[in-house]
Amino acid sequence: MTCAMILTGLEERTAETAFGRLRAFVGGAGVPVVLLHGLSAGATTWVEVIDRLHPSHHVVALDLPGHGASGPPPAGAKIEWYADAVAAGMAALAASPAVVVGHSFGGQVALRLAQRHPEDVRGLVLIGPSGVVRLPRKTRVLAVLTTVLRPGARAAPLGARLAGRAWFRRIAFGPLLVSDTAALPARAVLGFFAELREHADVRTARRAILADPPFASDRGLRCRTVVLWGSADAVVPVEHGFALARSADIRLRAVADCGHLLIGERPDAVVDAIAAVA
């Protein structure tokens, strides 16, 4: 199943920017909502959230550079480069200012975007973002991303066929990524594996995550911000969220019995957070 088939009702568009090609799925009217996915994922991982937002919001689901059908980042690209690329894509797609929603790596990019381009961000929702504290090179976080997600790309065609099988969801997503795999909709699984089939090399993004300095509250956030964190997140622990809430005037909502893939497990919580900052 292709990405366009999963994100029904949205138009697949390409933004040509000074930072390269960015693919986006766009649709709906109202307040622009820009969705930034996690490492080794892509726009279709937001399918459950998009289903609840569209058509009452102007949804812009981007493939970040090096993911999906977007162009690759340059060697040595930093998080700031990704943030600037997103800003350029938003301008090209006439999606600014917007509520920006970022998950994991996308949350780290969204945080830098709000600091570097505050005029483009009217509200911010961060979901289990990396980049809150500095990560040592050999932490459990990066071990999970390296050993689970990258081999998953080779198994993507199989994953797309078995998305509806409960036993497969347990093997592919739990317990490291999802707290309750039985509650994970098959469409969310399809969205994840569809992007794995397309994504390019994500090594540059992983290096950028490691090299990025931790969030500095003195750089400030001018927009309303809500942070969502799964209480059972084993990839980026909820303790990182407590540290973020202490360092800035940010509302933290810990979602009980939820893992790292909160956007698939608890999409209603994401939509509620968007409404709070829109």
- Residue-wise pLDDT for 208-263, tens only, equals 888 888 776 656 788 999 999 999 888 888 988 988 888 777 889 999 989 898 99
Mean pLDDT of the chain: 84
Q: How confident is the model at residue 23 (pLDDT cuts 50, 70, 90)?
A: very high
- 190 touches 163 (CB < 8 A): yes
pLDDT at 1: 59
Report the alpha-carbon distance of residue 274 to residue 195 in Å, rounded. 24
Whether residue 65 contacts residue 73, with contact meaning beta carbons closer than 8 Å, is answered with yes
pLDDT bin (cut points 50, 70, 90) of residue 105 is very high
Length of the chain: 278
Cα gap 237→103, rounded to integer Å: 14
Q: What is the pLDDT of residue 131?
A: 86
Higher local confidence (pLDDT), 124 or 212: 124
The helix, strand and coil proportions of the chain, stated in percent and rounded to the nearest 5, come to 45, 20, 35
Q: Looking at residue 13, what is its pLDDT? A: 97
**Global pTM?**
0.88
Q: What are phi and psi of 170, to 5 degrees?
A: -65, -40
Residue 155 token pair = 């198994």
User: CB burial class (10 A; 0-12, 13-18, 19+) of residue 53?
Assistant: buried
Q: What are phi and psi of 259, to 5 degrees?
A: -95, -155
| Structural domain boundaries in the chain | 12-277
Overall average pLDDT of the 4-25 stretch: 92
- What tokens were used for 108? 């780290």
12-277 is classed CATH 3.40.50.1820? yes
DSSP strand pairing (121-127 vs 58-62):
unpaired
From 36, 40, 235, 207, select the one nearest 130 (Cα to Cα). 235
